[in-house]
Amino acid sequence: MNVTGIVLIGAAFCTAFLFTGWMRRFALTQNLLDIPNARSSHQLPTPRGGGVSIVLVVLAGLSVLWWHNSLSGAELTAFLGAGGLVALVGWMDDRGHVAARWRLLVHFSAGIWGLAWLGGFPPLELAGRVVDLGWLGHGLAVLYLAWLLNLYNFMDGIDGIAGIEAITVCGGGVVLYWLSLGRELSGYTAPAQPALLLAAATAGFLCWNFPRARIFMGDAGSGFVGLLLGLLSLQAARAAPELFLGWLILLGVFVVDATVTLLRRMLRGERVYDAHRDHAYQHAARHHGSHFPVTLAVGAVNLAWLLPLAGLVATGRLDGLVGLLIAWIPLVIVVVYYRGGIRLDGKPEGF
């Protein structure tokens, strides 16, 4: 990585750290607090909205990357337009309330915007063949982006978990670039720099959110990070088709927990946007009596289990769909073991 890139990553971390501290003071003065209730996983009123620091630092950093020709104008427009729109409606929801239908409209609009500027859903490598899904792929990609940004909000429920997920997934994504493209350091870091930037900014925020949360990310930050991870996975797929399934493998903990929980709640006839704390990670935190081991376990699973499998897929040593199944099936088992999607009242529920 060149000197500019190193300075940018360091500046992103420091700026996000300082700005998150300022956001905490601002939230306290404005009474912007997350008040615990029966569906919360925390016990004390805690400031929220700290993820705004991630949003502003990443958007500014992306502009610097574009200025130094490390990011195309189309990529910059995709990230700034889609990410900024999602962060704005999230901030409005953090400050007051935005009806779910309007949030969803913005989320799908942002997904369409980002996908269009990135050139649509790229061809994928499936079973050893490169397959172009055409308009079906574009439609599925918009659903994927909207679901990813929403599930990231659902999964941001205990100290540090959303930050650890973003850092390990982005770091893993950089490793996949290196493994797949096989270029020298100066070659593969150009497409990987947005992921490094997001990881650095999230790390600055994480200093205030883990091991004990002194401020929460909020809807503005969680939606922005979730959407950016989706857009980065599509950007990676344009660089090398096999990388998309590699990124899906890396995202497995959040995707599997959120999706299994959603399906079980839907099959019970519950409204999916009602607040709850029935995710497997929330049950696990109560079972173990602390957020700390659960958050660390998520990072360990990402690095020790999902990253090696994603690396095998990125290097062509393992078929992408086979790798995805090998990676995700144990995660489904863990989610079921920790009763993801089961209500707290203890009534027997099932698929």
| Binding-site residues for Mg(2+) | 153, 219
Q: How many CB atoms lie within 10 A of CB 6?
A: 12
| Pair of tokens at residue 231 | 């857009």
CA dist., res. 263 & res. 260, Å (int): 5
- Write out 205-263 in H/E/C secondary structure: HHCCCCCCCCCCCHHHHHHHHHHHHHHHHHHHHHHCCCHHHHHHHHCHHHHHHHHHHHH
Q: What is the DSSP letter of 304?
A: I
Nearest residue to 48 via CA among 234, 237, 220: 220
Q: Compute, in degrees rounded to 10, the torsion defined by CA atoms 323, 324, 327, 328.
A: -160
Contact (Cβ atoms closer than 8 angstroms) between residue 218 and residue 163:
no
CA dist., res. 287 & res. 157, Å (int): 15
Burial bucket for residue 271 (CB in 10 Å: 0-12, 13-18, 19+): exposed
Residue type, 27: A
Q: What is the DSSP letter of 158?
A: S
CA dist., res. 65 & res. 68, Å (int): 5
| Pair of tokens at residue 64 | 């610097």
CA dist., res. 164 & res. 159, Å (int): 10
| Pair of tokens at residue 264 | 């079980």
Q: Which residues are annotated as a binding site?
A: 153, 219
H or E element at residue 177: helix 161-181
Q: Which residues contact 99 (CB under 8 A, 6 or more apart)?
A: none
